[in-house]
């Protein structure tokens, strides 16, 4: 069915149908009319020849039958005169005497037909009682026509003249007709093929080309162009499509530039919305969203969910002693160190003031301790130049780990992800205060 839907296939189908209809019509007209015409013409031609011979014989018979002193023993002369009438007109004949023997034959190849006796009787009966001048017999096996003509001449009353006509001429005429018909059919086929090829090149091919270009444009290829440059309607349509494609391409480029600008602005807004302006770390709102999402997806992971709370020791002293600029510098240095020491998948955020938090997805207690101690040790090595002297910075860290089993159990007790998150923050925060109580610059696990 897909083949029939295509315009090229439809054109081929229409021309094939036209060609078949034309050929069938031509064959019917030729063979229905011309074959009968050939047969009829052949029959008329033969009958005219036979009628001419019969007319001559009748005139001769009237002369003989009307002469009372015509010698009775002159059969031989009569036969010779009859033959003289026939020979100039007919090439194949037999003269059969009253003993059913061949009196005279045009040649040795002409023989008495097998059904001679029956046809002779019919010819004599029709002549005597119906006045018919001859009896026609057709021999389809030998392709021949036999005219049985009673002479009706005195002293030759029971003599039969058989005129034989070969029908192979009619067969040859039919063969000529067949050849002419084949030639006509061939001409019809060539004309239809020429028209089909011309129609395909002038109509179907441009349509298919325009269809391919329009499909390419519809699929996003705005650089697609039609190469039809004719001065007809297809050329006009091709130029219109190319103008449309160029216009769309220019408009799309303009829209793309605008989209890039919008995306950049969106990124800026997301940075402003999700990140702390001073440290560049994620803010608390974004951090809490990540925590909830991690808790909800923890059942698909092997490890648990780790969380660290960090507080800069004696941060108020930096602000009071060296001013807020140094305090901001301390916050920035600690934030930078946090990002260096955490894993790639960890989420680092500023919790508020001098407090920071780290979410550790797919972690266990060992990983939590390792990351927490590493952060503490590297912050301890940090030195801040205040302009008058160099000071060191330390931080107290509290951490907790929520195993998958605990999260699953809490969820089964109909605790929301928010409650589980708050519980995790509470444990980490408690561990942080424990680290402060035990002398600061420590890591404690809650």
pLDDT band at 37 (very low <50, low <70, confident <90, very high): low
**Are 283 and 274 in contact, with CB atoms under 8 Å apart?**
yes
**Is residue 413 pLDDT above 80, yes or no?**
no
pLDDT band at 33 (very low <50, low <70, confident <90, very high): low
- Please state the rounded mean pLDDT for residues 199-222: 83
Instruction: Report the share of the chain in percent with pLDDT over 90.
Output: 29
Find where tokens 């039919």 sit: 174
SS3 call for 297 = helix
Taking only the tens place, the pLDDT of each residue in 101-125 is 888 888 887 888 888 888 888 888 8
- SS3 string, 224-288, reads CCCCCCCCCHHHHHHHHHHHHHHHHHHHHHHHHHHHHHHHHHHHHHHHHHHECCCCCCECHHHHH
- Please state the rounded mean pLDDT for residues 251-258: 80
pLDDT of res. 4: 44
Taking only the tens place, the pLDDT of each residue in 328-345 is 999 999 999 999 999 999
**Are 106 and 93 in contact, with CB atoms under 8 Å apart?**
yes
pLDDT of res. 399: 97
Q: At what angle do helices 75-86 and 35-65 cross, to 10 degrees?
A: 150
**Are 104 and 115 in contact, with CB atoms under 8 Å apart?**
no
pLDDT of res. 2: 46
Taking only the tens place, the pLDDT of each residue in 363-380 is 999 999 999 999 999 999
Per-chain mean pLDDT for the chain: 84
- State the Cα torsion 230-231-237-243 to the nearest 10°: 90
| 16-25, 301-310, 366-375: range with lowest mean pLDDT | 16-25
**Is residue 135 pLDDT above 80, yes or no?**
yes
pLDDT of res. 213: 85
pLDDT of res. 248: 83
Domain 2-172 - what CATH class?
alpha beta
pLDDT of res. 71: 52
Closest CA to 156 of 116, 97, 112, 100: 97
Taking only the tens place, the pLDDT of each residue in 230-246 is 888 888 888 888 888 88
CA distances in angstroms from 28 to 23, 167, 181, 408, listed in the order given: 9, 23, 10, 90
CATH of 284-445, one of 3.30.160.150, 3.30.70.270, 3.30.70.360, 3.40.605.10: 3.30.70.270
**Is residue 288 pLDDT above 80, yes or no?**
yes
Taking only the tens place, the pLDDT of each residue in 182-194 is 788 888 888 878 8
Taking only the tens place, the pLDDT of each residue in 59-83 is 888 887 766 555 545 788 888 888 8
pLDDT of res. 355: 96
Instruction: Report the share of the chain in percent with pLDDT over 70.
Output: 89
Q: Is 400 or 206 the better-scoring residue by pLDDT? A: 400
Q: Where are the domains of the chain?
A: 2-172, 284-445
pLDDT of res. 1: 43
pLDDT of res. 35: 54
**Is residue 346 pLDDT above 60, yes or no?**
yes
- What is the sign, positive or negative, of the torsion defined by CA atoms of 24, 28, 34, 35? positive
């Amino acid at each position: 069915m897909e083949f029939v839907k295509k315009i090229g296939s439809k054109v081929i189908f229409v021309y094939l149908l036209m060609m078949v209809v034309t050929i069938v019509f031509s064959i019917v007209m030729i063979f229905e009319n011309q074959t009968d015409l050939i047969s009829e013409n052949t029959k008329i031609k033969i009958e005219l020849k036979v009628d001419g011979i019969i007319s001559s014989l009748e005139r001769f018979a009237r002369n003989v039958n009307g002469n009372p002193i015509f010698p009775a023993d002159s059969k031989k002369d009569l036969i010779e005169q009859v033959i003289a009438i026939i020979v100039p007109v007919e090439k194949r004949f037999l003269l059969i005497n009253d003993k059913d023997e061949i009196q005279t034959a045009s040649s040795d190849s002409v023989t008495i037909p097998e059904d001679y006796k029956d046809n002779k009787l019919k010819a004599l009966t029709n002549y005597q009682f119906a006045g018919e001048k001859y009896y026609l017999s057709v021999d389809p096996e030998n392709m021949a026509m036999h005219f049985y003509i009673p002479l009706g001449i005195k002293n030759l009353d029971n003599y039969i003249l058989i005129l034989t006509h070969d029908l192979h001429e009619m067969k040859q005429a039919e063969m000529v007709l067949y050849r002419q018909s084949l030639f006509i059919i061939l001409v019809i086929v060539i004309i239809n093929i020429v028209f089909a090829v011309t129609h395909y090149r002038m109509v179907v091919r441009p349509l298919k080309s325009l269809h391919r270009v329009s499909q390419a444009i519809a699929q996003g290829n705005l650089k697609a162009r039609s190469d039809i440059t004719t001065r007809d309607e297809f050329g006009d349509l091709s130029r219109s499509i190319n103008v449309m494609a160029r216009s769309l391409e220019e408009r799309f480029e303009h829209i793309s530039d605008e989209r890039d600008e919008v995306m950049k602005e969106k990124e800026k807004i997301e940075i402003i919305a999700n990140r702390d302006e001073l440290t560049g770390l994620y803010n608390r709102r974004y951090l809490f969203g990540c925590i909830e999402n991690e808790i909800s997806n923890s059942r698909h992971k092997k490890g648990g969910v780790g969380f660290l709370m960090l507080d800069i020791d004696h941060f108020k002293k930096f602000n009071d002693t060296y001013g807020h600029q140094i305090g901001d510098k301390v916050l920035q240095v600690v934030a930078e160190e946090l990002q260096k020491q955490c894993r790639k998948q960890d989420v680092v955020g500023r919790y508020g003031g001098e407090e920071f938090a780290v979410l550790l997805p797919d972690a266990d207690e060992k990983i939590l301790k390792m990351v927490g101690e590493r952060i503490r040790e590297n912050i301890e090595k940090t030195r801040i130049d205040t302009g008058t002297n160099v000071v060191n910075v330390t931080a107290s860290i509290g951490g907790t780990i929520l195993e998958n089993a605990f999260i699953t159990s809490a969820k089964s007790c109909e605790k929301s992800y928010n409650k589980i998150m708050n519980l995790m923050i509470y444990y980490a925060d408690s561990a942080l205060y424990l680290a402060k109580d035990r002398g600061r610059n420590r890591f404690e696990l809650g």
